[in-house]
Chain A
Amino acid sequence: MIRRLRALWNNVFRRKLLDRDLDEELQAYLELVSAEKMREGVSPEEAYRAARRDTGGVEQVIQSVRDVRVGVCLDRLLQDVRYGVRTLAKNPAFTLVAMATLALGIGANTAMFSLLDQVVLRLLPVRDPEQIVIVRETGNHYGNTFGPNTISWPMFEDLRDNNQAFSGMFCRFPATVTIGYGDRAAQISAELVSGSYFPILGVGTALGRTIAPDDNAVPDSRPVVVLSHSFWRSYFDGDRTVVGRTIDLNSHAMTVIGVAQPGFDGVEMGVPAKVFVPIMMKTEMTPHSDGLKDQRRRLSWVTAYGRLKPGVSLEQAQLSLQPLMHSILEMEVQQPEFTRSATPADREPFLRNRVELLPGSENELREDMRKPLWLLVGLTGAVLLLACANLANLLLARATAREREFAVRLAIGASRARIIRQLLTESLLLSGAGAAVGLALAFLTDRILLRIYLPADAAAEFVVSPIPDGRVLAFVVGAMLLTSLVFGLLPAVRGSRTEITVALKDRSGAASATGISLRRMLVGVQVALSLLLLVGAGLFVRTLRNLDSLGPGFPTDHLLTFRIDPSLNGYSDEQTKSFYERLNVNLQTMPGVTSVGFSAMPLLKGYAWQNAVLGKDFEGAPIEEQPILSEVGPGYFATLGIPILAGRAFTTQDAGPSKYAVVNESFARQYFPGRNPIGQRFGLVDDMEPVSPDIEVIGLIPDRKYRDLRETPPAQAYFPYLQGVHFRFMNIYLRTQADPRHFENELRERMRQFDPHVPLDELQTMNEQIGFSLRTERLVAGLSAVFGGLATLLAVIGLYGVTAYTVMRRTREIGIRMALGAIRSNVIGMVMREVLILIGAGLAAGFSLALVLANLVRSQLFGLNPRDPLTFVASAIVLAVAAGFAGFIPALRASYVDPTTALRNE
C-alpha cells in the first residue's frame, strides 16, 4: 500500500527524480551494451554508436516507460472506482442514507454560511473597504430624522472640513425617483451623493466618468446622472451610446455621464441603487423636502462616511472626533431651532451626544438579519455535528457487517492494503457524491432564501455566487471527509487484523465489542442534538404562530394596498391634491370595493413619521419618545376596521383652516391623563418657527400596532390629509368583498386609465405585506422545523440500528435465557432497559444544553419564555416516543427468538 502510494506520489509530483533514475538506468544499459561490443573487437566510438542504435532512442524509451507508469496507476484507480460504485449500489439503503446525511450536512452549512456572508459579513466592493466607516451621532437629535445613521447636512460639512481622522469624507441619501415618462415610467432607487463619493470609495466607471467634486459645487447646477452597471444592462440593454444622452428623472432632463464599474450598487448592500445623482440636485429629486439649501440642523438625513487614514484604527478615529463633535453641539444648542425643538431640560442630555463610527458596510437590513442568520448558522452547526455522528454510526455499522466479507477475502489471499485502499476509495466516492449533491442543494437553497429575504428587484441583482465561500466549503467538506475516513477506515484496519478463523466461525463478530459502545455513544449524541433542534424548532414555530395569530389588531383579510407619488412626475401641490380627491372618488366606485383609505405613511412597514408635540399641560418636561403621526383620508379608519371609541372620524369637510386630529388611547393617556381627550389641544414642534397648540382632538381610537407586529402599540395621532399644505406620496388601502388578489389586474388597468403617467408601486395584499415582514421569523421557524424533523429521523434510525445489532449479537444469550424459563416480557424488558437508558442519557444531555443555550435566542422570540416548559417537555416527549418505538421493534423481535433454533445456530 505505502509503496504504491509512494509510486503514485513519485509519478505525479516527483517526475524529475524519476526521470533522473530512469536516465541513469538507461545510461548503464548503453554502457553495458557498448562494453559487450568492444569485447567483440569494435572501436569504442563505433561500439557506443551501435549501442545507441540498438536502444532505439533514449528519449523514446523514457517516454514509453512514463506512459506505462501513469497508465498502471489510472487503471488501478478506475478498477477501484468501478468496484466501489458496484459495492455502494449493492446496498442502496446505506448509500442513500449516507449520501443524504452528507448532502444535508454540507448543503445546510454552506448555504447558511454563504447567506450570512453575502448578507451580513461581506465588505463593500470598493478599494480598501475596511477603511470605510459610517459617522453617526448617538443619542436624541431633537428634530426630524430619516433613520438612525443620519446627520444633518451642515453637521456633515462641519465634520468634513474640520476633522483630522479621515483622509476624506463623503455622504449619501437614498431616494425613490420616477424614471421615464408615460408607459415606461417606473420608480427606481436613486443615491444622491456628495462630490467626494466616487473618488473616496475608489469606484471607477465602465463607461464615461463619475460624479466629480465640480458637479456638486452649486445647488441645482448640474443635472447629471451615473447609472449602476446592472441597471444599465437591464434598462438600457447595455447600450454603449447611452453616455451623453438625456433621461427623465422626476420629469427633469438629466444627462447620463457614465456607467459605474460592474458590481457596485451603492454603499447599502441589499438595497441596490440604480442611479447616482449629485446631492446638489436634491430639490429636483425629492420635491418639498430640503435640508440642503436651508442649512437646517434639526433635520438629519444624510449618511456620512469617512475613509480612515492608513494605520488609524476605528477607535482612535472615534476618540479624536469627540472634541469636534462637542463644539458643534455647543453651537447648535444655542440656536433658536434647538430651543423651539426641545425644552431646557433636554440641553444636558443633548450635549452628551457623541460621534460613533460603524463599519462602512453596516445598514438596517444587516442589523435586522445579523442575529437571525447567526442563529441559523448555529443551528446548521448542530446539524453538521449530527450528520457527522450519523455518518460515523452508519460506517461503523457497515464495517461491522462486512467483517465476514473482509475475513473471507483475507482468507483467499487479498492483502490488508488492498482492502483498506478499496474502503478508502468507497469513502471518497461517497463523500464526493454527497458533497456534489450538497453543493447543488446549497446553491438552490441560497437562491430561494435570498428571494424570500429581499424585495424582488434587489434579489435579482444580489449576486449569489454559485461557488460558496471557499473556507466554509473546505471546512465542511473536510469535516465530513475526516469523519468518513476515520470511521470508515478504523474498523477496516481493525477488521483486517481480525483472526480470520474467529471472524469466520463467530457469526456475532466478537471482534467488534468496542464498536458497539462507540455506536451507542454516537446515538446518545444524536438524541441530545435532536432534542436541542426540536426545542429550537418548537420555540421558533410558536413565536411565528404568536405573531401570526395576534396580528396588528385589525382584520387584514380582503385588504389590498399600493403606493403612488404623483409629485415625482412634477405635479404641483394643487395638482397632486386634486389627483388624490378624484382618485378617492374613482376608487370608491370600483365594483367589489367596499371602502378606500388613504394614508401618507405606510402601516406595518417598520418605519413611521415621528415628531415631538407640545401643549400647555406637558410643557417643560423632557421629550422622550415622540408619538407616531400620519395624514389620512376620511375612509381610513373604516377601511382598516378600526372603530371610533369617542368623537368622530374625519370627513371630506375637514380640509382646513381649523386643524383636527384623531388620537389613540395611548396618546390620550400620555398627554391628557385622566381627562376626556375630545376637545383637548396640542401642537407639533417645528424647528423653523414657533408654534402654538392649535390642533383639536375630535376622535379617539383604540391602540393598534403601527410599525411592526412585535411592538407594543405606541402613541399615535392622525390628521386629515386634505388639511395639509404639501402633497407627496400616498399609501392606499382598499377593502374588497372577495379575495383581494382578484382585483390586482383590474386595479392596474383602472389606474392606467386614470393617469397613465403615474406608476403604481408595491401593489400587494395586506396579508402578503405582513407575510413579507415576518419573513425572518418564517425562515427561522421553517428551517429549524425541517432540521429538527430530520435530526429526529436520523436519531431514530441510528437507535434502531444499534438496538437491532445488539439483539442480533445476543440471540444465543436470549435463547439460553428463554430455555431457562424467561418469558417474552422479560426479554422485551431487558432490551428496552438499555434503550431507555440510552434515550434518557441523550435527553438529559440535550436538556442541559438547551437550557444553557436558550438565553441566546431570547430576542428572537415573541410571546413566550426561552425556557418555555411546554416546548421543552413536548419536544422531549416527541423524541422519547419516536426513539422508544424504534427501540421497541427489535426488542419485540428478540422476544420471538426460538430457543432451540438460536442454540442450534451457533
Chain B
Amino acid sequence: MPTTQSDLLQGTLDLLILKALTLQELHGMGVSRRIAQITGGTFDVKAGSLFPALHRMEQAGWLTSSWGESETNRRAKFYALTKAGKKQLHTESERWGRISLAMATALRTT
C-alpha cells in the first residue's frame, strides 16, 4: 500500500528520516530507500517532500550535511544526525510510542 505524502501524519516524516539516519549517513536517495526498507515498503517518500524536509531539519540543527561520493561515483550530499537530532529522535520516538499505544487501545475498544 504505497502512501503519498499527504497521508503522512505531521511529524511522521521527520521521525522516519531521523530513524533512517541512525546507523549511517546517507544521501537523499539513500534516505528514501532506507525508509522504504524499514517500513517494509509502506512509505515511499518522493523528492518533493523529502528534500524540503531534509533542508528544514538541517536548519533546525538536527542534521548536518557534507559532500561525498555516491555509488555511481558522483558528487552527492550526505546527511548525518547531530547531537540535537539524536535527542529529537529520542523524544519523538517516546511521544510516538505513547500516541500509537493510545491509538491502538482506542481503536480496540468497542
Question: B57: shortest Cβ distance to chain A, in Å?
Answer: 10
Q: Is B46 an interface residue when CB atoms closer than 8 A count as contact?
A: yes
Count residues of A near B (Cβ-Cβ below 8 Å). Answer: 29
Q: List 8 A-B contacts (CB under 8 A).
A: A25-B77, A28-B27, A28-B70, A32-B29, A32-B70, A64-B48, A65-B52, A67-B52
Given contacts A25-B28, A72-B56, contact A61 B48 (CB under 8 A): yes
Q: Does B29 contact A7, Cβ atoms closer than 8 Å?
A: no
Residue of B with least CB distance to A72: B59
The answer to whether A29 touches B28 (Cβ under 8 A) is yes
- Mark A1-43 against chain B: 1 for CB-CB distance below 8 A, else 0: 0001001000000000000011011111101110110000000
A55 and B75 contacting across the interface, CB-CB below 8 Å: no
Q: Which residues of A contact B55 (CB under 8 A)?
A: 65, 68-69
Given contacts A54-B46, A61-B47, whether A29 and B29 have CB atoms under 8 Å apart is yes
| Chain B, range 62-78, C-beta contacts under 8 Å to A | 70-72, 74-77
A-B contact sample (19 more), CB < 8 A, given A65-B51, A69-B56: A4-B59, A21-B77, A22-B51, A25-B28, A25-B77, A27-B74, A28-B77, A29-B28, A32-B29, A32-B70, A32-B72, A32-B74, A32-B76, A54-B46, A55-B47, A56-B46, A61-B52, A64-B52, A68-B52
Report if B60 contacts A (CB, 8 A). yes
In the complex the two chains form, is A56's CB within 8 Å of B74's CB?
A: no
Shortest B40–chain A CB gap in Å is: 18
What is the CA–CA distance of A22 and B77 in the complex, to the nearest angstrom?
9
Which residue among B48, B70, B75 has the maximum number of chain A CB atoms within 10 Å of its CB? B48
Contact surface of B with A, Cβ cutoff 8 Å: 27-29, 46-48, 51-53, 55-56, 59-60, 70-72, 74-77
Which residues of the partner chain A approach B51 to less than 8 Å between Cβ atoms?
Answer: 22, 25-26, 61, 64-65
Known: A67-B52, A72-B59. A28 touches B47 (CB 8 A): no
Residues of A within 8 A of B52 (CB): 61, 64-65, 67-68
Query: In the complex, A140 Cα to B77 Cα: how many Å?
Result: 87
Query: Which residues of A in the span 53-98 have a Cβ within 8 Å of any Cβ on B?
Result: 54-57, 60-61, 64-65, 67-69, 71-73
Top 4 closest A-B pairs, CB basis? A28-B76, A32-B29, A55-B47, A68-B52
* CA distance in complex: A4, B52 (Å): 17
Least CB distance from A134 to B in Å reads 64
Shortest distance from the beta carbon of A770 to any chain B beta carbon, whole Å: 69
> CB-CB < 8 A to A4: which residues of B?
59
Known contacts A32-B76, A33-B29, A67-B52; decide if A26 and B47 are in contact (CB<8 Å). yes
A788 to chain B, nearest CB (A): 52
Task: Let me know if B48 and A60 touch, CB within 8 A.
Answer: yes
* Cβ-neighbour of B74 out of A28, A65, A73 (below 8 A): A28
Docked Cα-Cα span, A55 to B50, in Å, equals 10
Contact B48 A31 (CB under 8 A): no
Complex formed: what's the CA distance from A73 to B56 in Å? 10
- Whether the pair A55, B48 counts as a contact (CB closer than 8 A) is yes
**Are the CB atoms of A32 and B27 closer together than 8 Å?**
yes
Contact B46 A28 (CB under 8 A): no
- For the complex formed, measure the closest distance between the CB of A268 and the CB atoms of chain B, giving whole angstroms: 61
Minimum distance in angstroms from B68 CB to a CB of chain A: 10
A55 to B110, CA, bound (A): 43
Q: How far is the CA of A7 from the CA of B59 in the complex (A)?
A: 8
Chain A's closest residue to B53 (CB) is A68
**Chain A contacts of B71 at CB under 8 A?**
32, 35
Q: Is the CB of A29 within 8 A of B56?
A: no
Is B56 within 8 A of A56, CB to CB?
no
